[in-house]
Structure 1
């Protein structure tokens, strides 16, 4: 019991704050109706563009819809895009990065040059190109952001595999005559994949930011869907005299991204300390 309390005291306050914020948005994504104060799609022109108040905590939009409820409702779509894009990105990066690191030779050279070329292109440019060609849906947005962020992850995973591949315990296993596949399965992959958990948490926030950027440019989920980027896009025409339409969804994106970044860095530090 005392040891558990000692561990709790060593956790920084920012981590508790990040867990609280992420937990709120996860609850909003899973059961938004429990947290909403109004119907997020109900139009009431008599309440159009009202500033934040007791009746409407974050104000209303041009159609009189409650902005707080729309942000809560949009958490599901935004988090789905972030998680889906991150899962796709890390899956592709895992396959290509591990292949390049393990096989080596010509395969490694070709894949490494491909990573470098794609990594040199801005992520938003790759995502814009994909969405422009295949249209604007939730699925294409997930694929676009996933493909755009995959090259950077692939380079990191390749480097991690190469570092573990040359470690002393791997050389010792080879000297003892262990089969290569067994060495890969029991030594290289488990140790090379340690940073993936932290990378995934960092990637979710990054993916939501990229997806919101696409939606802000009009290449995201179509209105009246309350996805955070779509809310930003809809509010930019009213930013001068209805600042809350732009500030509040933007804060949701920034606060969530910062929170998952704090958790990702803390988790990475813990895993690095254990290793």
Structure 2
């Protein structure tokens, strides 16, 4: 049996892009020439991308992106599939690369919360506390239907319908976080990066805030998926990935099949 031929990548970076419209044209032209499919979102705050195609073509496009010094350190997460899981190529300029509707949260201008490596989170969850003996809670920042596919054991899930509801949910539940080490997480890192900055701005007493570096997908890549139950929903035709970053064969689907944008 041959190895899967299609390389899937996902990446994001919060970085000032005042030229995002011109950049959109260059990136679209190159991706189109290479026959790639997927979505690239650009905004003044940065880039968010999901692309697929033959491995050499995908890496050629990434090299083109990295030629811009602002993206020189971009390190996409990779997985493989038998077929391209996208129907078309979209390269768009948006107000935000991940919509929060909270203009004060600009990761390209603010200091990000400390990023917690996957191996450290796995160790903390196994021992039941962080290295200072403080209780650890994982905070799922994804939409409710995504959480229903799978999440960390005992993760906090506020059943939000879209990410722009996250700030209000924090205000309703902030007391439940105080005095604990909070690790926010999401699919690939972009939502939990904004979420962690918002949490830091709340000045919760005696409450260290982290974001899971690279999100669930990086956790799958660097661990065996310990302490995670179920699969990870992805916004493409694969639907969900297992801890080996392969399309999940056993999926616990939510009651509603209405998949909304993050």
TM-score (structure 1 length as normaliser): 0.25
Greater per-residue helix proportion: 1
Please tell me whether Structure 1 or Structure 2 has the larger radius of gyration of its CA atoms: 1
Greater per-residue strand proportion: 2
Bigger RCO (CA 8 Å, 6+ sep): 1
